[in-house]
Amino acid sequence: MGASVSSHELTDGSRVAVVGGGPAGSLVGYFLRRMASRAELDLAVDIYEPRDFSKAGPAGCNMCGGIVSESLVQMLAVEGIILPDTVVRRGIESYVLHTDVGSAAIRSPVEERRIAALYRGGGPKGSNVGQWGSFDAFLLGLAVQAGCRHIPARVTGLEWAADRRPLVRTADGEGGIYELLVGAVGVNSPALSLFRDLGVGLEAPKTSKTFIAEIPLGQEAVEKHLGSAMHAFLLDLPRLQFAALIPKGDYVTVCALGRDLDPETMTRFLASPPVRACLPGDWDLPAMACRCRPAINVGPRGALYGDRVVLVGDCGVSRLYKDGIGAAYRAAKACAVAAFCRGVSRQDFARSYAPRCRKMVIDNTLGKFMFACSAVVTKVPFLQNAMLSMTRAEQASGSVRNDMSMVLWDLFTGSAPYAEILVRASSPRFLGTFAWHAATSLLRSSGRAGRDNGRS
Ligand SMILES: Cc1cc2nc3c(=O)[nH]c(=O)nc-3n(C[C@H](O)[C@H](O)[C@H](O)COP(=O)(O)OP(=O)(O)OC[C@H]3O[C@@H](n4cnc5c(N)ncnc54)[C@H](O)[C@@H]3O)c2cc1C
C-alpha cells in the first residue's frame, strides 16, 4: 500500500461496488483487482451491470460512434490488452474531411498507428451478430478474468449504512455494504439521481443531445463508397458541431455532435450534398433503421467524490466530444490508483484523483475554443478553402510537414489532448502557412467575383 495511511484504506477483505459495467466501470474493476492481486490482497469487486452486451440493438448497446482512438489502442497495448479482430469491425486508415465548399482526404499521419471502428454491443438492431464481438463485453470479460464479480442487475437504491459505509440495493435483492462505491453509470441513466440523493454534493454532469443512426448498406456498397476511411463533416448547419460517417462491416454509423441536435437538423444533414455524395444515389434512411439520441457529457456540475464514493467516466468528467472511451480509461486508472494506494476518503480522492479530473476540465476549455474556431471556419468559405488547400498541398507533397493534416486528424479522431493540438495550431509556421492559403483563396474568389461582374 502507499505511504499515506488513512482510516479509509482498502484492506484485506474490503469490498468495492462498481455501479455500471461500461468502459469506465469495467476498467476501474480491472485495475483494482490487478493491483490487489499483485499486493496479494483479498479485495472483492462487484460490478453491477444489467445490460447483456452480446445482444444486437438497444438492449446491448451503450450508444456511441464506436471509434477507439490511436492513443487508447496504444495505452491498452501497453497494459497487455489487445483488441481482438472479432471486436474491431474496421481499421480506419484515413479520413476524408467534407465541407460546404469541397473535401480533402487525410492519411493517418503516422503509418503504423490505426484507429478502430467497433460496436459497443452486439451491433445494430436486426443485424446478424455472427462471429462479431462487443467492445463492452470484451472489457467486462477482462474485469471478470481479473477477479471481479459481475452482478447482472440494475442498482435501484443507494444509501448510507449506520456506520456511514455505502449500501447498494437492486430490485431482486442483490446488494450489500461496501467500503467504496464507484459510480460509472454514464449520462443516460436515471441512476444519476441515486448518487445525487446520497447528499454529498454529487451532481449529474451538463449534457447535450446527440444523434446516431446505423445505415444498412451492405459490405460491397460500404467498401465502394466509404472504404476504410472515416468521413468527417464540418458543415454550416445550425446546432451541428461535427458529424461523421463511419464504415463498419455491412453498416455505416452516422454520428453527429452539437448543441442539443434536433431531428430537423439531422434531416437537413442527411440531405446535404456532401453527405449524399458519400452514399449510393438512391439511398434513404430506412424508417426502421437503428437510431438514437443519446446525451453526451459537456462538463461537470457538482462534486465528483465524497467519503467512500466516487464518480468515473461519463458521469464524472469526460473529454469534450472526442475519445470518451479513452477519457474513461484514464479516469478509471486514476480512480483505482487513488483508492488502492491512498484511500477512499474525500481527502484521498482530492489529493490523488482530482488533479487528473482538473487536467481534463482545463483541456476541455481549450477544446471548446478550438471547436468555436472550427465553427467560424465553416461559416466563411474562403477560410474553408484555405483549410482544404493547405491540407491537400501537405497530402500531395508527402512531406513530413503535415501541420494542418495533423491538427485536423487529432481534432477529429481525439488522438491528442486539445492543449497539444492548440500549441501546434498556434505555431508561427502553421499560422503563416494558413494565412498564405487564406490570402490566395481570398484573391482567387475576388478575381472570380470580378470576372462574373464583368460578364453580367
Ligand atoms: C453520439 C456519441 C458518439 C460517441 N462516439 C464516441 C467515439 O466514437 N469514441 C469514443 O471514445 N467515445 C465516444 N462517445 C463517448 C462514449 O460513448 C462515452 O464516453 C463512454 O461510453 C463512457 O463510458 P462510461 O463507462 O462512463 O459510460 P457508459 O458507456 O454510458 O456505461 C454506463 C453503464 O452503466 C450501466 N448502468 C446505468 N445505470 C445503471 C444502474 N442503475 N445499475 C447498474 N448499471 C447501470 C449502463 O447499462 C451502462 O452499461 C460518444 C458519445 C456519444 C453520445
For the domain that residue 219 is a member of, what is the CATH number? Answer: 3.30.9
**What residue type is assigned to position 439 of the chain?**
A
Whether 164 and 29 map to the same domain: the answer is yes
Minimal CA–CA distance to 411: which of 380, 381, 368?
368
pLDDT digits (tens, 9 = 90+) for 134-158: 999 999 999 999 999 999 999 999 9
Instruction: Compute, in angstroms, the gap from residue 321 CA to the centroid of ligand 1.
Output: 13
Main-chain phi, psi angles of 50, to 5 degrees: -80, -20
Residue 7, in any domain of the structure: no
Rounded distance, CA 433 to CA 291, Å? Answer: 41
Q: Measuring CA to CA, which residue among 103, 71, 79, 75 is closest to residue 420?
A: 71
Same domain, 216 and 328: no
401 within a domain of the structure (yes/no): yes
Closest ligand 1 atom to 191 CA? 41
Out of 58-72, 196-210, 389-403, the most confident range is: 196-210
Determine the angle formed by the axes of helices 135-145 and 23-38, rounding to 10 degrees. 20
73 inside domain:
no
Is residue 447 located within the same domain as residue 381?
yes
Share of the chain above pLDDT 70, in %: 96
Q: Which domain covers residue 275, as residue numbers? A: 89-118+208-295
Mark 125-142 as b/e (b = at least 16 C-beta within 10 Å).
bebeeeebbbbbbbbbbb
pLDDT above 80 (res 109): no
Widest CA span in the chain = 86
Of 324, 340, 364, which one is at a domain's C-terminal end? 364
Which of 235, 270, 295 finishes a domain?
Answer: 295
Strands 240-248 and 229-234: antiparallel
User: pTM for the complete prediction?
Assistant: 0.94
The alpha carbon of residue 241 and the mean position of all alpha carbons in its chain are separated, in whole angstroms, by 15
Which of 310, 338, 364 is at the close of a domain?
364
183 in ligand 1 pocket by Cβ < 6 Å? no
Q: What is the CATH number of the domain that holds 348?
A: 3.50.50.60
Domain membership flag for residue 124: no
Looking at the structure, tell me whether residues 358 and 398 fall in a common domain: no
Sign of the alpha-carbon torsion through 82, 43, 193, 51: positive
Same domain, 266 and 228: yes
Query: Tell me: the pLDDT tens digits for 158-172?
Result: 999 999 999 999 999
Residue 351 is assigned to a structural domain of this protein: yes
Q: What is the DSSP letter of 128?
A: -
Both 142 and 59 in one domain: the answer is yes
pLDDT at 112: 52
- Radius of gyration over every alpha carbon of the chain, rounded to an integer in angstroms: 23
Residue where the block lists cell 431531428: 263
**Are residues 446 and 379 part of one domain?**
yes
Which residue's CA is minimally distant from atom 47 of ligand 1?
Answer: 51
Protein residue with its CA nearest to atom 50 in ligand 1: 64
Helix (H) or strand (E) holding 68: strand 67-68
399 part of a folded domain: yes
Ligand 1 centre from 427 Cα, in Å? Answer: 35
How far does the centroid of ligand 1 lie from the alpha carbon of residue 313, in Å? 8
Under the banding of pLDDT at 50, 70 and 90, the label for residue 131 is confident
| Residue 110 confidence (pLDDT) | 64
Mutate to test the pocket of ligand 1, among 53, 54, 55, 64 (most ligand atoms within 8 A of CB): 64
Judge if the beta carbon of residue 24 lies within 6 A of ligand 1: yes
My answer on whether 380 and 447 are in the same domain is yes
- Interatomic CA distance for residues 337 and 74, integer angstroms: 20
| Number of folded domains that form the chain | 3
Give the confidence band of 3 by pLDDT, cuts at 50, 70, 90.
very low
What does the pLDDT read at residue 111? 59
Pairing state of beta strands 305-306 and 291-292?
unpaired
Same domain, 355 and 404: no
Strands ordered across the beta sheet of 115-118: 67-68, 115-118, 88-92
Q: Are residues 301 and 288 in the same domain?
A: no
CA end-to-end distance (rounded Å), the chain: 81
Q: Looking at the domain assignment, is residue 220 inside a domain? A: yes
From residue 120, give the alpha-carbon distance in Å to each of 62, 104, 135, 398, 412: 6, 29, 5, 35, 20
Query: Do residue 429 and residue 444 come from a single domain?
Result: yes
C-alpha separations of 309 from 133, 173, 198, 334 in Å:
32, 21, 9, 14
- Ligand 1 pocket, mutate which of 189, 248, 269 (most atoms under 8 A from CB): 189
391 and 342 assigned to the same domain: no
Q: Is residue 450 part of a domain?
A: yes
Give the residue, out of 51, 62, 318, with the most ligand 1 atoms within 8 A of its beta carbon, to mutate for a pocket test. Answer: 62
